[in-house]
Structure 1
């Protein structure tokens, strides 16, 4: 279950606060307008506020202002254009189709543009039913713009006052998702769970975790200037360091289960992971409540059980029994878990300290860590080609809306074309999988919403009850839009139907007609989801290239750091983030492909293994960093660096060759230069070094997994491109 759906955390999440902000602003603006004017004026102002509120998302203040202002200006222009064309049927049809196409093309600007696309199509749909004179249209647009500007001012004022609070909530969400990630890792130690299925769950959750961590970066690292910000910056940085340590815990779980199948140590490792997840959740919960977090969970019983098992294994080894490998594996996991527990403790401490400044890679450019977006016309124009998925999606939406308008005019009863069109624009998404999910949520949510509204109007038709239901549905509409869209569909149906009842009166027949319109719109959207489709497998070759290129850059930065050529881990962090983003994108595409028709799925098993192997490379690097840090005082630097230099060349050449087979040439590392570097380092310890077995094992695994990446990338190429 999503953390924000739990009663304990729901009321502290930014989702609930968004709903409160949305509801208070929208209802407040409508009531203030009603106090000085009539219902028609209040509705025009309210719709302007509603369209602007669709862009009210957690964002840095400057970005938020630009996003919401663009919604006000664009929606005002669309309202004016549609209102002027409404009396002329064929002109209106042409304008609606053209606007639908242009609004859908805005999706090229990424996830942040999706609410703007929806706001544009929403106001287009709501304006098509109003037949006005030019002067009435100008007055209506003026009122609409007034409502939009009023909500913009309100939202910016609230966001400025609560700017630190929003950072805390977004950071807490990333921490909750990290805890959920560890819960999945904990089940690797439980023999009841299939390892392959757990890897699949882990890979899917990795994409979600990467998205939440990026949202935290975008809010926290853009502006951190005061003492309050110092705490969230400290917690954020410790969270990322903890994440790397968690990655380093990856081991051969099948071997671990074989060696420790009947051992209490395996249960202890699972319980330790579970306790770590709860410990991180306690930090997240404290952050949402604006409080310092203090460690209250004890890990001693589980650690003691592991130490007892280690002593038993050591006795078996001393007695000449074959337990050396089990001893080495368990000892390595014990060391990693202790490091994670210590880092969780530092996470608690980070939430307690109040610094006068925010030292975070002083004088470093944070831009590579932040989401970059270019809102340029040329970006959109570059997608005006038939092989562009966004262009095909825009054509699909435009054709579906044209058919929806035609169907609305042919129906025997008093159809409401705008409801059919609204259903189409809500359901039709750029990918088949998203369309399929939206269709189900929209239909089920609308049916439930209509039933609830009918019950209210038939059995509880009292002004106080209707008003309470209207307020609750208004708050719930944005609250669940990113959590459970089905709940949003229920709430928005109740909200609109009750508003119609209050504004113009109505009957149960109106509700029935809305249900019919919804099914018609859903049917049209379903049919057009197969028109000019863009199947996920078509984007796989490019995504595989991006992952291989990102991994090659990451390996270059990682070996620079491991060999001591670079003391600052800032470049390494940048490349690690780039690789994680590329993997998250590929993972998301794979998940969506699994929801497409079976005939459109390609190389699912190889893609999954390709993603897993890339994550394993990150885990091996993280483990090598942890090992070298642990042995920093006695490490034979020259010998270790010679081994790392050879491994560097082999791994990078393997990845470069895989990339070359996808048509991209990459420069290869120079072994002689790396060996020359290692010769400049004086050895600081004996060649007989206790860390050799674990380092050599990780290096072998790193090289082996790099080879597997090549194998799976070639298999994907064969199955996707050549079919």
Structure 2
């Protein structure tokens, strides 16, 4: 379950606070307008506030201002154009199709432009029923803009006052997702779960975790001047260090299961990981409540079980009953988990008080860690071609809306074309899988919302109670839009139908007409989801190449850090983030492809394995860093660096082969390193390097298979 759907944490999440801010602002602006004017004016102002509110998301204040202002100006222009075109039917239809196309082209600017596209098409749909003179059109647009400006001022004021609180909430969400990631890793020690299934779960959670960590970076690393911000920065940096340690815990789980299936040690390892996840959740929960976190979970029973099993394995190993390899794997896991638990302790400490010196990259340029969004016209123009997925999506939306308008104009009952068009807008997404999910959520949510609204209309006569239900539905609408869209669909249906009931209480067919219109819009969106569709397999070669290129850069930075050639780990962190982002993009594409028709799926197993092998390379590097730290005493630097240099050449050459490029390094083959078996970390380093090179070889095999299949 998502943390924000848990009753214990729901009220502290930024999702609920967004819904509350949205509802209070919308209702307050509408009520104030009603006190000063009539209901028609209040409705125009309310719609303006609503469209601006659709862009109200957790963002740095400057970005939030730009995003909401862009929505306000664009939507004001659209409502004016549609209102002016209303009296001329052919011109209205032309503008509807043209605006639908141009608004859908905006998704070329990425995920943050999706709400802007929705707001633009929403106000276009709401304005298409108007029949105004030119003067009335300008007056209506002015009222719309006044409502938008009112909400913009309100939202910016609230966000400024709560700017630190929002950082805490977004950071807490990243911590909760990290705990969920550990829960999945815990099940690797449970023989009831297949390893391949767990790897698939881990990869998908990794994609979600990367997204949440990036949201945390974007808010926290842009500004951190005061004491409160310093604590948030400390927790954020500690979370990233903890994440790297967790990556390093990847090991030969099959070997552990084979040798220790009947031993209680697997259960102890599972319980340790499970408790660690709960420990991280306790930090996240404290952060959401604006409190310091203190350790309250004990790990003594599990440690005793692991130590007892290690002693037993040593005795059996001496008698030849167990392999030394199994013993080494278990001992290594114990050491890594101990490091993780120590880091969780530091995570608690980071939430309690400001360090004398904040653990941060002083004076460093944070730009590589932050989302960079450029809204350039050239980017949009460069996608005006038939092979562009965005261009094809824009054509799909324009054609689907045209058909929806045509159907609405020819239905036998008093159809509401705007409801059909609105359903198409909401359901039809850039990818087939997103459209499929939205269609299901929209239909089920609308049915439930209509049934609940019918019950309210039939059995509730008190206007005060109806207004209370209306307010709760308004809160729920944005709260669940990124959590469970089905809940949002229910809330939206209740909100709009109750508003219509209050305005026209004698309409006996209010609910049934909306249901019919929803089914029609869903059918049109479903048909057009196959028209000029851009299937995920078509983007795979580009995504595979991005991963390989990022991994090559990551390996260069990693080995420079491991060999002590880099003064700090800043370049390494940048390259690691770039690799994780590219893997998250590929993982998301794979998940979407699995929702597409079977005939459009390509090389699913090889892509899965390719992603897993790339993650394993990151895990091996993290493990090498951990080993070198733990065994730093008496380390033969020359011999270790020689081995790392030799491995560096081999791995980079392998990845360059997969990329289809000349070898990434011009260095000649390094001579095999000298033996340093007297150093305690030598066999561990050797083993990790062997695994690193073996997984790099597998990446070449899987990437070649993917290219051949596509």
What is the TM-score normalised by the length of structure 1? Answer: 0.97
Q: Deviations over 1:151-177 (max 9, x none)?
A: 000000000000000000000000000
Indicate the residue corresponding to 1:344 in structure 2.
344
Shift of 1:507: 2.4
Instruction: Report the counterpart of residue 326 of structure 1 in structure 2.
Output: 326
Aligned to 1:635: 635
Determine the structure 2 residue equivalent to 1:382.
382
Give how far 1:355 is off.
4.8
Give the equivalent residue in structure 2 for 1:649: 649
* Corresponding position of 1:668: 665
Matched residue, 1:601? 601
Q: Deviations along 1:408-432, whole A, 9 cap, x unmatched?
A: 1110100000000000000000000
Alpha-carbon separation, structure 2, partners of 1:528 and 1:225: 51
Contact kept? 2:168, 2:288, Cα under 8 Å: yes
Residues 106 and 117 in structure 2, CA contact (< 8 A), matched pair in contact too: yes
User: Does the CA contact (< 8 Å) of 2:433 and 2:592 recur in 1?
Assistant: yes
1:354 Cα shift?
2.5
**1:709 alignment counterpart:** 699
Superposition TM-score, scaled by structure 2 size: 0.99
Deviation digits for residues 682-702 of structure 1 (CA, Å, limit 9, x no counterpart): x9x965212111110000000
Q: Is the 8 A contact 2:677 2:683 kept in 1?
A: no
Distance (whole Å) between structure 1 residues aligned to residue 109 and residue 666 of structure 2 = 36
In 2, the alpha carbon distance for the partners of 1:426 and 1:112 equals: 16
Could you say which residue in structure 2 is the equivalent of 1:102? 102
Q: SS of the counterpart of 1:613?
A: helix
Q: CA deviation at 1:319?
A: 3.1
1:697 aligns with 2:687: yes
State how far apart, in whole Å, the 2-side matches of 1:40 and 1:322 are. Answer: 82
Give SS of 1:508's match: coil
CA distance in 2 between counterparts of 1:410 and 1:355 reads 70
In 2, Cα distance between equivalents of 1:177 and 1:555: 26
Instruction: Please state how far the C-alpha of 1:274 moved relative to its aligned partner.
Output: 0.1
CA distance in 2: counterparts of 1:147 and 1:356, whole angstroms: 47
Whether the 8 Å CA contact 1:71–1:119 is kept in 2: the answer is: yes
Is residue 543–residue 585 contact of structure 1 (8 Å, CA) maintained in 2?
A: yes
**Unaligned ranges ≥5, structure 2:** none
Give the 3 Å change call, closer, same or farther, for CA 296–540 of structure 1 in structure 2: same
Kept after mapping to 1: 8 A contact 2:432/2:596: yes
Q: Deviations over 1:664-684 (max 9, x none)?
A: 556324146x779x9xxxx9x
Q: What's the offset of the Cα at 1:105?
A: 0.3
1:571 corresponds in structure 2 to 571
The CA distance in 2 between the partners of 1:356 and 1:22, in whole Å, is 39
Instruction: Tell me if structure 1 keeps the 8 A contact 2:449–2:490.
Output: yes
For residue 643 of structure 1, give the secondary structure of its aligned residue in structure 2: helix
In structure 2, the partner of 1:238 is 238
Q: How does 1:103-252 map to 2 (within 5 A)?
A: 103-252=103-252
Are 2:653 and 2:663, in contact at CA under 8 Å, matched by a contact in 1?
no
Deviations 1:8-50 (A, max 9, x none): 0000000000000000000000001011111000000000000
Distance 1:337 1:221 in 2: 29
The aligned residue for residue 42 of structure 2 is 42
- Structure-1 separation of matches of 2:305 and 2:594: 42
Deviations 1:546-575 (A, max 9, x none): 000000000000000001111300000000
8 Å contact from structure 1 (residues 450, 493) kept in 2: yes
Asked whether 1:718 is paired with 2:708, we answer yes
Residue deviations 1:375-399 (CA, integer Å, cap 9, x gap): 0111110100111000000000000
Aligned mates of 1:675, 1:193 — CA distance in 2: 43
Alpha-carbon distance in 2 for matches of 1:461, 1:95: 42
Structure 1 contact 230–356 (Cα < 8 Å) conserved = no
CA contact (8 A) 1:229 1:358 kept: no
Equivalent position of 1:416 in the other structure: 416
Over residues 307-339 of structure 1, what are the superposed CA-to-partner deviations in whole Å (9 max), with x where a residue is unaligned? 011111111223343331221111010000000
Tell me the equivalent position of 2:91: 91
* Alpha-carbon distance in structure 1 between the residues aligned to 2:525 and 2:189: 45
Q: Is the 8 A contact 2:237 2:359 kept in 1?
A: no
The CA deviation at 1:357 is: 7.2
Q: Indicate if the aligned counterparts of 1:635 and 1:689 stay in contact, CA closer than 8 A.
A: yes
Residue of structure 2 in register with 1:518 after alignment: 518
Deviation at 1:600, TM superposition (A): 0.2
Runs of 4+ in 1 over 2 A off after TM superposition: 317-323, 354-359, 503-508, 664-669
Match of 2:268 in 1: 268
Q: Which moved more, 1:639-648 or 1:356-365?
A: 356-365
Unaligned runs of 5+ in 1: none
Cross-structure match for 1:13? 13
1:273-301 deviation digits (Å, cap 9, x = unpaired): 00000000000000000000000100111
Given that 1:230 and 1:357 are in contact with CA atoms closer than 8 Å, whether structure 2 keeps it comes out as: no
CA distance in 2, matches of 1:238, 1:3: 21
Could you say what the CA RMSD is over the residues aligned between the two structures, in angstroms?
Answer: 1.4
1:220–1:233 contact (8 Å) kept in structure 2? yes
Distance in 1 (alpha carbons) for counterparts of 2:70 and 2:76: 10
State which drifts further: 508-517 or 138-147. 508-517
Secondary structure of 2:206 counterpart = helix
Q: Please give the alpha-carbon distance, in whole angstroms, between the structure 2 residues aligned to 1:434 and 1:131.
A: 35
C-alpha separation between the residues in 2 aligned to 1:396 and 1:438? Answer: 16
Distance in 2 of aligned mates of 1:686 and 1:321 = 28
Is the alpha carbon distance of 1:634 and 1:472 closer, same or farther for their aligned partners in structure 2, counting shifts above 3 Å? same
Separation in structure 1 between the aligned mates of residue 20 and residue 671 of structure 2, nearest angstrom: 61
The residue matched to 2:605 in structure 1 has which SS?
helix
Task: Measure the CA separation in 2 of the matches of 1:152 and 1:614.
Answer: 44
Distance 2:95 2:522 in 1: 22
1:490-639 alignment runs, 5 A limit: 490-639=490-639
Task: Give the Cα–Cα distance (whole angstroms) in 2 for the partners of residues 400 and 413 of structure 1.
Answer: 21
Q: Is the 8 A contact 1:636 1:687 kept in 2?
A: no
Which residue in 2 is equivalent to 1:458?
A: 458
For 1:686 and 1:383, locate their aligned partners in 2 and report how far apart those are by CA, in whole Å: 57
Preserved CA contact (<8 Å) 1:245 1:340: yes
Deviation by residue 1:339-398 (Cα, 9 ceiling, x = unmatched): 000000000000001357755201100000000111011111010011100000000000
Tell me the SS of whatever aligns to 1:621: helix
Structural mapping, 1:436-451, within 5 Å: 436-451=436-451
Counterparts of 2:253 and 2:688 in 1: how far apart (Å)? 15
For 2:461 and 2:400, the matched residues in 1 are separated by 37
Q: Classify the secondary structure of the residue corresponding to 2:509.
A: helix
- Render the CA deviation track for 1:194-231: whole Å, top value 9, x for unaligned: 11111111111110000000000000001111100001
Residue pair 1:248, 1:622 contacting (<8 A) in 2 also: yes
Aligned length: 710
C-alpha distance after superposition, 1:71-122 (max 9, x if no partner): 1000000000000001111110000000000000000000000000000000
The question of whether the paired residues in 2 share the 8 Å contact of 1:225 and 1:358 is answered with no
